[in-house]
Structure 1
Amino acid sequence: MAGLLTARVLAEAYDDVIVVERDPLTDHDCSVPHVCPRRGVPQDYHVHGLLTRGRLLIEEMFPGITDELLASGAVAGDVTDDVLWVVNGRHLPRTHSDMLMLSLSRPHLEQRVRARVRALPNVRFLVRHSAVAPLLAPGERRVVGVTVTDTAGTRDLRGDLVVDTTGWRSRTPTWLERLGYPEVEEERQNVGVGYATQYFRLTPDAMKGVISEMVAASPASPRGAMSLRIEGGRTVVTAFGFRGDHAPTDPEAYLAYLKSLSAPDIYETVRGQEPLADPVAFRFPYNMRRRYERLTDLPEGLLVLGDAVCRLNPIYGQGTTVAALETTVLRDHVTRFGGARPTDYFAAIAEHAVDDVWHQTTSTDLAFPGVEGERTEAWRQRQESMGELLDAAVHDPSLLTAYARVIYLMDPPSALAQPRIRRAVRAARENEQPRAGI
C-alpha cells in the first residue's frame, strides 16, 4: 500500500513512474480465503483497519474510491455507533461519531487502489523483480536509479528519484553504510504480539446489528480480539495476545481463547457458526523505527517511506494511514522547486506523520507486563488519565467519540488533555458515585 500511494503522488511530479514489485500480481476473487494473501504481505489474511484519516486521504488521492469499495462489497458504518467497543471488560455506549468506517479485507482494498494506480498513464509496473542496490552517479553523492533482478538476471533502472517502500526488511540502512554514510539509528520495542485469524459465515443476526466487535486487551487481561464483517458475506476474526500469550490455531482451542477474553461477545457471536477455514497465525515481535531524521548526511535522490521507516504494532491498524500521511509529506517535497531534499523530507515525515503515532503506540504497549521500555512518572500519569477517561466514557458517550477521534488519527493525542475533556471526565466520575439516601 505504501508503494501504491507513493506512485500516485509521484505521478503528479514525474513523467514516468515505475513500481518495482517482487510478487506476481493477480486479481483473484478475494471472497475466497487463502487465495488473495501473497508472500510479500503476510498480514494480508488478517484483520485490517482502514482508519478514518487514512480513508479520507486515500479518497482525496482517488476520488470516488469509497463508493467504489462499497459497491464491490465493503461494509460501512459509524465507528462508534455500528461497532461494539469493550474496554477493560466493560461495554462502552454506542453513539454517533460522524466518522465513517469501511470494513473490508486488505487484499480487497489493495486491488482497488492498484487498479486506480495502473490506470494512471505515466505509471507502469515491473513485477517479479527485486531491488538489489541503488545506483550512484560516478564521483557524486547522488542516487540515479536502482539495480533490479529477476529470473533472467540483473539490470539497471535509471531515474531522478528512488523511493524505498520495501517494508521493515528494507536494505537501505545497509546500502547507506556500504556507500560510506553514517549508520541509521534504529529503535525497537519488544512486544511479542502474536495473533491468529479465522473466517466465518455468520447467520444474518449473529452480530446483533453491528459491523464490528472489538474486545480490547488490557494489562489485567492481555488478550484481545476484533471481528469485522467484510466483502463476500464473510466475517473475519483476529485474536491476539502479548508476550507469548498467543491465540492458538487449533479450532477448538481458538474458540476457548475467544471465550477467555475480558468479555465473551465475539465468542458468543461465532460459536456454532460456519468456519470457512482453520485459524492462521502471525507473529509481530517488536515495534521498530529508523531515525533517518537524525542523519545530517544523506545522498540526494533516495527517500524511504512506510514500514521501512516505522513499523507499528498491527493490532491498532495504523500502518496504511501512516503511509498515507507520509505520502502527503512526499507530495509537498517532490513538487517544490529544486525537488526533495532528503534531510528536510525525513524531518517532515517525523514531525507530521510518525512522531505522534509512534509515541501513542509505544506508550500504549508499555502498559502490558513484560513489554520493554522505561515507565516514567509522566507516562504513569498519562496512563492514569487515559484509564479515567475510558471509565468515564461508560457514562458519557461524548468521551468515547473524543477517544475514537484520536484512535482513528483524526485528532492528536493532546486533544484528550483539553480542559473540556477533563471537565467531562470529572463530571462523569462524580455522577457515578453512589449517593446516600435520606
Structure 2
Amino acid sequence: MSTTTETGTAIVLGGSIGGLLAARVLSDAYAKVTVFDRDLLPTADADRRGVPQSIHSHGLLARGLQVLEELFPGLIADLTARGAVPVDVQRDCLWVNDGHRVPRVTSGMAGLCVSRRALEGYVRERVRALPNVDLRDGCEAVGLIADADGGRVVGARILPRGGVPEHHDADLVVDATGRGNRGSTWLAELGYQPPVSDRVDPGTVYVSREYRRTPGETDFAAFISGPSPETPYGGVAISAEGDRWMVTLLGVGPGQDPPVDPDGYLAFAGRLPAPELHALLSRAEPLGPPRRLRLPTSVRRRYEHLTRLPEGFLAVADALCSFNPAYGQGMTVAAAEAMVLRDCLRQGRTGLPRRFFAAAAKVVDVPWDMAVGADLRYPTVVGPRSRRTRFLNAYVARLHVAAARHAVVGRRFLGVANLMTPPPALFAPGIVARVLWSGRRTAPTVAPAEARVEELSVR
C-alpha cells in the first residue's frame, strides 16, 4: 500500500518499459499521470519503431521478474497463460560461459522466457487500466518548461503528430525517452550544466531470426553461449510465446558480424563451442529472414554528480543509463529504478531529484561495472583498463572454469549476473577455494555429466 497522498500531476516522456514502470509507481503518489510517446502505440503485442531492438532476443533477469510481479501481481501467471515459458534460471537454461558449461541443477531462481513485445504489451495493458493514468501516443516531447526563476521544471512541451506544440503543466516530469533522449540538451536550454556522460562502444552486432518451436523438442528452454576474447562470437535462443524460438547470433569486433544470409547464419551457429544451437537451427522452421542490428554505444549520464539540479525533473531507464543489451540488464535495472522512485516518493517530494539520482546511482553501479568490465576484455573496445578491471576479468575467467565443475559456483555466478546476489559473494571463501582449486584455465568444455553437483549453499 502506498503511504503517499495522491495529489498533483506527473508527466512521463516515453512509453517503453522504463516509462511504463515509472508511471505505475507515480500512479500511487499523483492524482494524474500522463504518459506521452512519439510512436503510435499498438493495441496488441507488436514491434514498434521506437523499440527497434524488440525483434531480438531479450533477457529479463530474475530480479527484474521479481519486481515486475510485485508491481503487477499476477504477471507471471498471466504471461504464462499467454504462452510465455517459466523457468528455473539454472536448471532449464543451457549456459556456456567462455566455452564452459554451467551445471544444470535447480537454483530456486525463477525466470520467464517471453518476447519484449509481449512483455511490454502486457505492462502497457496493465498501466493503461490504472484509473489515474492516461497514455497518449503520437506525441513527441520537444522541451521542458521552467518556472520564472528557472529553479523548477513545471511542465513539458509536447508536439502531437500533425499538430502544433502544446504546453502541459506538471509537478514532476520524468524523462524516459530512451537512448536518443535530449534531456541533457533540455536542461542546458534552461541554463543548467548537462551531466557528464561515461561512454563505451561494445562494437557488437546482432543478427536475429525467429523459428518455430515444438514444445519438448529440447531439454532446455533457453540457450546462452556468450562470446569471449578467444571466440568473440556467441548465440542465444529464447523460448517465446506462440511456440517460437527467438534466436540471436552476435559478434564482437571487426570481422565478427554474423551473416544475414540463411546459409551463412546457420554456418555461423556451427562455430559456437556448444553444438546444441546449430543442431536446433538445422531442423527448425524459420519464420522470417535474419535481421541485423549494430548495438549502440552504452551511455551513463552522471546526474548524481551535478551540483545544481532543477526540482521537478527526473531521468530513468535508458535516459539515465543505457546498457550493452548483450548482458540483458536494461529492463531489470529500469525496474529497480522504479522501486527506488517509489521509495523516494514515500519519503516526500522535497529534494526528490537529488535523492533519486543519488539512490539510482547505487542501483546502476553494479550492473554498469559488470557490463563495462566484461566489454573491456576485448582489445577492440576502447576504454581505460584499471588494475582492478584486469584482476576481476582474470578472476571471472577462472571462475567460469570452476563453475563448470562445481554447481554451487555456477549458481553463485548466475545469482550475481541476475542481480539477485551482490558481487562480493563471488569472493566468499568457499567460492574462492573452488576457483583456485580448479587450477589454470583449461580447454572447454566440461560435459554436464562430469560436473560436481553439490549443495547450493556455501560461505
**TM-score class normalised by the smaller sequence:** over 0.9
Q: Does 1:229 align with 2:239?
A: yes
Quickly say closer, same or farther: Cα 1:300–1:219, change in 2 above 3 A: same
Q: Does 1:79 align with 2:89?
A: yes
The letter of the residue matching 1:397 is A
Per the TM alignment, residue 184 of structure 1 is displaced from its structure 2 partner at its CA by 1.5
Per the TM alignment, residue 100 of structure 1 is displaced from its structure 2 partner at its CA by 1.1
- Which position in structure 1 is the counterpart of 2:28? 12
Contact 1:297 1:343 in 2 (8 A): no
Of 303-312 and 324-333, the range deviating more from structure 2: 324-333
SS at match of 1:153: coil
Quickly say closer, same or farther: Cα 1:58–1:340, change in 2 above 3 A: farther
SS at match of 2:201: strand
- Which position in structure 1 is the counterpart of 2:179? 168
Q: Does 1:368 align with 2:384?
A: no
For the aligned residues, what is the CA RMSD?
1.5
Q: Does 1:289 align with 2:300?
A: yes
Alignment of structure 1 residues 17-416 onto 2, 5 Å: 17-28=33-44, 30=45, 36-150=46-160, 151-207=162-218, 209-244=219-254, 245-351=256-362, 353-416=363-426
5+ long unaligned stretches in structure 1: 31-35, 433-438
Contact 2:100 2:400 in 1 (8 A): no
Contact 1:2 1:323 in 2 (8 A): yes
Per-residue CA deviations over 1:218-255 (Å, capped at 9, x if unaligned) read 11001001001110011110011112322121111111
Per the TM alignment, residue 203 of structure 1 is displaced from its structure 2 partner at its CA by 4.1
Per the TM alignment, residue 392 of structure 1 is displaced from its structure 2 partner at its CA by 1.0
Separation in 2, partners of 1:391, 1:54: 27
- Which position in structure 2 is the counterpart of 1:436? none
SS at match of 1:125: strand
The letter of the residue matching 1:199 is E
Per the TM alignment, residue 166 of structure 1 is displaced from its structure 2 partner at its CA by 0.2
Separation in 1, partners of 2:176, 2:325: 17
Residue-pair matches, total: 423
Separation in 1, partners of 2:388, 2:152: 43
Separation in 1, partners of 2:87, 2:356: 36
Structure 1 length as normaliser, TM-score? Answer: 0.93
Per the TM alignment, residue 196 of structure 1 is displaced from its structure 2 partner at its CA by 0.7
5+ long unaligned stretches in structure 2: 1-16, 443-459
Per the TM alignment, residue 378 of structure 1 is displaced from its structure 2 partner at its CA by 2.1
Separation in 2, partners of 1:147, 1:380: 46
Per the TM alignment, residue 128 of structure 1 is displaced from its structure 2 partner at its CA by 0.5
Contact 1:136 1:143 in 2 (8 A): yes
Separation in 1, partners of 2:111, 2:310: 40
The letter of the residue matching 1:3 is G
Structure 2 length as normaliser, TM-score? Answer: 0.89
SS at match of 2:80: helix
Per-residue CA deviations over 1:103-156 (Å, capped at 9, x if unaligned) read 010010011111111111110111110111111112341111101011121111
SS at match of 1:149: strand
Of 331-340 and 365-374, the range deviating more from structure 2: 331-340
SS at match of 1:260: coil
Quickly say closer, same or farther: Cα 1:201–1:332, change in 2 above 3 A: same
Separation in 1, partners of 2:77, 2:213: 25
Separation in 2, partners of 1:397, 1:72: 32
